Amino acid sequence: MSKSLKVHKAVILAAGLGTRFLPATKAVPKELLPVLDKPVIQYLVEEMAESGIKEVILVISPAKKAIVEHFKRDLKFEKFLKEKGKYNYLAPLVELTKKIKITFVYQKKPLGNGHALLMAKKAIGNEPFVLSDGDSIIAGGNEPAVKQLLQVFAKVKAPVIGVQKITDKKEMMKYGNVLRQNSELR
């Protein structure tokens, strides 16, 4: 880790096959499935920007070119929308792409999250970073969850992990798990 404890980069893992959401994800990456009026991945990038992150490294598979297209500026389309009086629908995404650098890194084979993170190693460099799944929107209350984690990181000057308590054992099987050994921690 570098001497600086300021976190400027985030890695979002978005290369998975999306099998839990089939058949919807057969043609559309799960990260592009909409929640209200925008895709999940956009919410995540917005949260990173709101938390002070300057660069997001998106790890995707080569089959997920639609994610690249989502964040790519299309000046001709923007001009068309302005002429039709509908630019306001796209404006938040355009502003987001101006606010935060988005770098794409490819995981060519589905070899898990650890391998996906290794694909981002060169882009991360020797800096502290935020890591997020590409399909997890976490309600943080008044402040984004990532910002809260960064505040803890700045205070303890050590790695921090955010977790969610799951009591349903069947649900636990779908995700990675953390065992709390010290009952005094909450």
**Helical (H) or strand (E) element with 59:** strand 55-60
Query: Do β-strands 101-106 and 34-35 pair in parallel, antiparallel, or remain unpaired?
Result: unpaired
Examine the pLDDT at 2 and tell me if it is beyond 60.
no
Q: Which residue has the higher pLDDT, 133 or 182?
A: 133
Question: Can you tell me which residue has the tokens 């070119």?
Answer: 65
- Report yes or no on 76 lying in a domain: yes
> What pLDDT does 132 receive?
93
> Residues 4-18: pLDDT tens digits?
679 999 999 999 998
Average pLDDT over residues 99-111: 96
In the chain, the number of structural domains is 1
> Residues 24-66: pLDDT tens digits?
999 999 999 999 999 999 999 999 999 999 999 999 999 999 9
DSSP string spanning 4-44?
Answer: -----EEEEEE-S--GGGTTTTTTS-GGGSEETTEEHHHHH
- Report yes or no on 1 lying in a domain: no
3-class SS of residue 80: helix
DSSP string spanning 109-126?
Answer: S---HHHHHHHTHHHHTT
The percent of residues above 90 in pLDDT, for the chain, comes to: 69
Neighbours of 72 (CB within 10 A): 11
CATH assignment of the domain containing 74: 3.90.550.10
Can you give the pTM of this predicted structure? Answer: 0.87
pLDDT band per the 50, 70, 90 thresholds, residue 3:
low
Q: Which of 145, 35, 47 is nearest to 100 (CA)?
A: 47
Enclosing domain of residue 103: 9-158
